[in-house]
Amino acid sequence: MAVEDVIKLVKKVATEVIPDNITFTDIKVEASNVVLYTPNLEIFSDNNDLIRKLAQNVRKRIVIKADSSVRKPILGAKQKLNEILPEEAGIVDTRFDEINGDVILEASNPGRAIGKHGIVLNQIKREIGWNPVVIRSSPMESRTLKDIRNYMLEDKVAEGRKKFLTRVGKKIFRDTIPGEQHVRVTALGGYKEVGRSCHLLMTKDSKVLVDCGFNPGNEKEPSPFLSAPEVTPLEGIDAVVLTHAHLDHSALLPMLFVYGFDGPIYCTPPTRELASLLQNDFIKIQNAEGKKVPYNTEHIRQAIRNTIPLNYGDTTDVSPDLKLTFHNSGHILGSAAAHFHVGDGQYNLVFSGDIKFENTWLFDRAVNHFPRLEGLIMESTYGGYNDFQPAREEGSRTLYDIINRTVEKKGKILIPVFAVGRSQEVMLVLEKLHSEGKLKDMPVYLDGMIWEATALHSAYPEYLNNNLRNKVYQNQDNPFRSEIFNKVESTDMRQEICGREEPAIVLATSGMVNGGPVMEYLRNWAPDFNSTMVFVGYQAAGTMGQRVQQGAKEIHLHDREKGGTIPVKVNMNIETCEGFSGHSDKRQLMRYLRTIRPRPKIVLLNHGDPQKCEQFANDIRRKVRLDCRVPSNLETIRFM
């Protein structure tokens, strides 16, 4: 249905549902939303279900805003807001977006700013004519969050985004050619390997790219096969869907804008911030190692401008015949399984993303109940016959034992971690050990992006598990703000830590030891027989982390002074502490499939080494009785 037809339909139904005393000055389509502008502020009365009825009748997302002619001037609007908003809301900042008619309210207690059943929001709309948007203030300062929020409110950016959303809406609601529906997926990366995850979903009327990652362990082919004929030209891609922010899924997303893509990106709100953080760091690491970077910071900003955030459980049209819903995948902050509803229900497909089917210290377990489901594309990182991990409590005890043994020898503990996910899990364990008096006064240093990523976790408590969420909400006993943690502020501070004689614990990025500040600690401590490196996350094939984990006695690190590399002896103890992984082990993967509802007709495996994929597929066929396939990169599978 073309945009013009959508607007005609909304006008027709509005005359039947909306009282005669309510008029509309304009109707516009912005992405999948139909926005109606009215000078009649009484439409925002409490418990008004007119909008809901209209949305149900036209089967579209309806937003009603006040016409600009009835908006109060900003000064008067601010005064009125002070009268309306309860003190308990804890308003930190108020910003007016004159381009879109929004007033952005940053609150420490968003629930009070919204009011029961939205009563406060409706009062604001009625009395000042501005559309209130409530956002949570972070209890820990996040430069990334602050920069993105300020950037999106710049007049030029806001005006450009309004035009962009209109353009997206026209593309979503466009006329299509009649014909037989089909559903196909082309494997562009991450199949029979871990890294460069990328899939192309194709239907009769749509092309959607799911993830666009990088493989640090594959120097010959680190990028997805974006030159495949199904993908090009990139202008033909309707949208990109990002399941989560880890670089093996998100690193090359900004590169798409270099080669002509200018469409929308769909992800959860925290994924937008985390992806931006990690992509900027990716540029720094690549430059520091003298490697070519396929994009620059402007392309990251363009990705931010083109992102349409979507919360868990919300559904949106992304193309003429595809609806998208995100569900929690339990892997990292904001990680999601992407559920696609094709056409009028002809087919339903889920891309699992990376999943953790277990309640963790950070998140609730992955969702595996969907409204409808025929096809599943699923990760298999730990799908091998013997890929069983200990419980998290056992992992915590193991880490404590390793720390104790190292401290007795007056050594230092180096834990390479991903900035997002594993860092925060290890922090929670260390904070608990500290609160129990087991770490005494030993300092814990956080180097790299860990502090910033942790601040983003505090900014989105609704994505955390119930116990942790309440601690952040109440801003009491927030474990992330414990006095035990020290942020490494500078290169000089890092050098001081490297040269210290007393025991210390350092959490540093990157998690696979393929760049970042962890390299400096490794350079200094690797020759020390008394120190220990503890791996708590997956080490991909070809990475420095995997070589060290497998027992390399000598490694070559970048020579800062002369260029090239220098040999470094590895005498430190190398330990692997399992139980911290953000991926499901074999037992959890099988439980995920046994309890998934409804049962899919076909399962495709990706995100796993070739042998593990095949072993997992065999078990799925024998034990779960599902049709399971293991495609290679560049294969296309037809689902319908």
Above 80 in pLDDT, residue 302? yes
What is the distance between the alpha carbons of residues 24 and 162, in angstroms, rounded to a whole number? 19
Predicted pLDDT at 581: 87
Q: Do 522 and 632 share a domain, yes or no?
A: no
Same domain? For 186 and 127 the reply is: no
- Give me the CATH number covering residue 438: 3.40.50.10890
Residues linked to residue 96 through DSSP beta bridges, in sequence order: 103
Q: Does 398 lie in the same domain as 382?
A: no
End-to-end CA distance of the chain: 23
- In a domain? residue 57: no
Whether a cis peptide bond, with omega within 30° of 0, leads into 567 is no
- Residue of 274, 281, 428, 255 whose CA lies nearest to 336: 274
Q: Which of 576, 610, 629 is the last residue of a domain?
A: 576
Domain boundary, last residue among 542, 576, 610: 576
Mean of the per-residue pLDDT values of the chain: 93
Residues 7-32 have pLDDT tens digits of: 999 999 988 888 888 899 999 999 99
3 touches 169 (CB < 8 A): yes
Beta-carbon count within 10 A of 51 CB: 16
Residue range 604-618, pLDDT digits in tens: 999 999 999 999 999
Q: CA-to-CA distance for 279 and 289, rounded, in angstroms?
A: 15
Question: What is the SS3 string spanning 418-478?
Answer: CCCCHHHHHHHHHHHHHHCCCCCCCCEEEECCHHHHHHHHHHCHHHCCHHHHHHHHHCCCC
Q: Do 429 and 362 fall into the same domain?
A: no
Say yes or no: 501 and 542 in one domain: yes
- Is 462 found in the same domain as 445? yes
Report the pLDDT averaged over residues 201-209.
97
| Beta pairing, strands 102-107 & 61-66 | unpaired
Does 496 reside within a domain? yes
Instruction: Please check whether residues 253 and 370 belong to one and the same domain.
Output: yes
Residues 332 and 450 in one domain: no
CATH at 141: 3.30.300.20
Question: Residue 31: which of 316, 237, 434 has the closest Cα?
Answer: 316
Take residue 209 and report the two structure tokens written for it.
Answer: 């790219």
More confident residue, 351 or 440: 351
Q: How far apart, in Å, are the Cα atoms of 266 and each of 204, 312, 314, 418? A: 21, 12, 12, 23
Q: Please choose, from the candidates 335, 210, 483, the residue with its C-alpha nearest in 3D space to the C-alpha of residue 327.
A: 335
Name the DSSP letter for residue 334.
T
| Total tally of structural domains belonging to the chain | 3
Question: Where is the domain boundary, 526, 544, 576?
Answer: 576
The whole-number pLDDT of residue 48 equals: 65
In tens, the pLDDT along 446-503 reads 999 999 999 999 999 999 999 999 888 877 788 998 999 999 999 999 999 999 999 9
- Residues 181, 287, single domain; the answer is yes
Distance between CA atoms of 320 and 32, rounded to whole angstroms? 10
Q: Is 607 annotated as a binding residue?
A: yes
CB 528 within 8 A of CB 571: yes
Question: 251-277 burial by CB neighbour count: b if 16+ within 10 A, else e?
Answer: bbbbbbbeeebebbbbbbbbbbbbbbb
Closest CA to 444 of 412, 418, 397: 412
More confident of the two residues 217 and 101: 101
Q: How confident is the model at residue 46, as a pLDDT?
A: 56
Residue 351 β-bridge partners: 338, 377
The answer on 509 and 610 residing in a single domain is no
pLDDT digits over 309-342, tens only? 999 999 999 999 999 999 999 999 999 999 999 9
- Is 65 within a domain? no
Question: DSSP 3-state assignment of 584?
Answer: coil
Assess whether 547 and 404 both reside in one domain: yes
State which H helix or E strand residue 112 sits in. Answer: helix 110-114
Q: State pLDDT tens for residues 224-268.
A: 999 999 999 999 999 999 999 999 999 999 999 999 999 999 999
Distance of alpha carbon 264 from alpha carbon 241, whole angstroms: 9
**Which residues constitute the domain of residue 521?**
392-576
Instruction: Decide if 131 contacts 103 (C-beta within 8 A).
Output: yes
3 within domain boundaries: no
pTM for this prediction: 0.92
The verdict on residue 160 lying in a domain is: no
| CATH number (domain holding residue 199) | 3.60.15.10
> What are the Cα distances from residue 31, in Å, to 45, 56, 169, 209, 573?
26, 18, 4, 17, 54
Q: Around 205, how many Cα atoms within 13 Å sit in the side-chain half-sphere?
A: 21
| 558 annotated binding-site participant | no
Classify residue 50: in a domain, yes or no: no
In this structure, are 601 and 527 located in the same domain? no
Residue 381 lies in a domain: yes
Least confident of 173-182, 245-254, 556-565: 556-565
- Give mean pLDDT, residues 615-625: 98
The answer to whether 339 is a known ligand-binding residue is: no
Residue 380 lies in a domain: yes
Structure tokens of 28?
């516009």
